[in-house]
């Protein structure tokens, strides 16, 4: 007979305990007005899964219905029922918006995003500054292109909470994939969000971020450092292909993520080219320091 396993050691109590794990399908209250349900789509690009947020009590706006997974959509509609009046999407990537149609079918709610794209059909287009006004809360749309040209963040005015979609994530950096992704525009959008008065950030992936300014500054510093690293490497080698740069810069990163890293390096190089610091065009071509 196999011996019983020894009990796991009990972790010592810490000053700031780690937030509880992100468990798919379980609604978790993050504040008086906000609940989160994680979609069961964990992965290399989605971390623990896509966060779907329910904002409001009597009238509910769902932010990012996530992928078209019936169990997830049942969990969301089970939590909000016919009080769900609005379905808003931060952008139209496959882990954020395809659930909109199924959730609309379950609730009759109005679908809103920047535009109809990638299979998403919106009932109302949202522009920068657009307001969703409920009896208990107001959500304001903030256009934040960069990760995707149609990306919106949303500020919950009553709690100064920013729903950041893929503009800012917890636990990983954001992929900028040209041509729809644009690094220069992304950095401008980070500055735009940095200027908002915020108390917390509810990202599309990962835990709630309690130090918005610090997190945004880290993002900006990371991007600035990465850009300098790419430029230095290109200056040192004169001419290089993106694959060569990725192998040096992302030496510690899982090679499975290198195709994604290539796209982000391409985005950095396109920004540097526009600034007249490098020459080149395509993701497979040669790049030269000027
Ligand atoms: Zn995305």
Question: How remote is the CA of residue 137 from the centroid of ligand 1, in Å?
Answer: 26
| C-alpha 204 – ligand 1 centre gap (Å) | 9
- Interacting residues of 135 by C-beta distance below 8 A, sequence separation 6+: 58, 59
User: How far, in Å, from the CA of 147 to the mean position of ligand 1?
Assistant: 7
- Written as one string, the DSSP assignment of 10-49 is PPPP-SSPPPPP--BT--EE-SSSEEEEE-S--BTTTBT-
The pLDDT of residue 8 is 47
How many other CB atoms sit within 10 Å of the CB of residue 192?
A: 17
CA 148 to centroid of ligand 1, rounded, Å: 7
Is-above-0.85 flag for pTM? yes
Q: What is the dihedral of CA 22, 24, 27, 32, to 10 degrees?
A: 30
Give which of 224, 219, 227 is closest to 266, Cα–Cα: 227
The residues that bridge with 163 in the sheet, in sequence order, are 154, 202
* β-sheet with 34-38: strand ranges across: 28-29, 34-38, 51-55, 60-63, 84-88, 110-113, 124-125
What count of other Cβ atoms lies within 10 Å of the Cβ of residue 91?
Answer: 27
- Give me ligand 1 centre to Cα 21, in Å: 22
Per-residue pLDDT tens, the chain, 290 aa: give them. 444 444 444 444 445 677 888 989 999 999 999 999 999 999 988 989 999 999 999 999 999 999 999 999 999 999 999 999 999 999 999 999 999 999 999 999 999 999 999 999 999 999 999 999 999 999 999 999 999 999 999 999 999 999 999 999 998 889 999 999 999 999 999 999 999 999 999 999 999 999 999 999 999 999 999 999 999 999 999 999 999 999 999 988 888 889 999 999 999 999 999 999 999 999 999 999 99
What is the 88 CA–ligand 1 centroid distance (Å)? Answer: 14
Instruction: Give me ligand 1 centre to Cα 166, in Å.
Output: 5
Ligand 1 centroid to Cα of residue 254, in Å, is 20
Half-sphere exposure of 197 (CA within 13 A, CB side): 3
Ligand 1 geometric centre to CA of 164 (Å): 11
H helices then E strands: how many in the chain?
6, 15
CB-proximal residues (5 Å) to ion ligand 1: 93, 166
């Amino acid at each position: 007979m196999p011996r019983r396993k020894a009990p796991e050691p009990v972790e010592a109590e810490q000053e700031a305990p780690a937030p509880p794990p992100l468990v798919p399908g379980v609604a978790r209250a993050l504040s008086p007005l906000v609940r989160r349900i994680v979609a069961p789509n964990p992965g290399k690009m989605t971390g623990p899964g896509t966060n779907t947020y329910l904002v409001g009590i009597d009238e509910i706006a769902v932010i990012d219905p996530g992928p078209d997974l019936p169990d997830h959509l049942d969990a969301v509609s089970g939590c909000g029922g016919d009080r769900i009046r609005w379905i808003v999407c931060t952008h139209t990537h496959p882990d954020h918006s395809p659930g909109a149609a199924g959730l609309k079918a379950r609730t009759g709610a109005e679908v809103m995003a920047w535009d109809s794209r990638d299979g998403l059909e919106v009932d109302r287009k949202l522009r920068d500054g657009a307001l969703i006004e409920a009896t208990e809360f107001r959500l304001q749309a903030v256009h934040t292109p960069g990760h995707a040209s149609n990306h919106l963040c949303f500020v919950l005015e009553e709690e100064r909470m920013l729903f950041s979609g893929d503009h800012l994530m917890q636990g990983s950096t954001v992929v900028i994939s040209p041509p729809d992704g644009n690094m220069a525009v992304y950095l401008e959008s980070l500055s735009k969000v940095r200027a908002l008065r915020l108390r917390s950030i509810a990202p599309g992936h990962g835990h709630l971020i309690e130090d918005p300014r610090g997190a945004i500054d880290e993002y900006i510093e990371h991007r600035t450092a990465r850009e300098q690293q790419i430029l230095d490497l290109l200056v040192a080698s004169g001419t290089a292909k993106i694959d060569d740069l990725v192998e040096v810069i992302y030496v510690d990163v899982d090679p499975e993520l290198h195709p994604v890293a290539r796209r982000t390096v391409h985005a950095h190089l396109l920004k540097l080219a526009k600034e007249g610091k490098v020459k080149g065009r395509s993701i497979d071509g040669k790049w030269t320091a000027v």
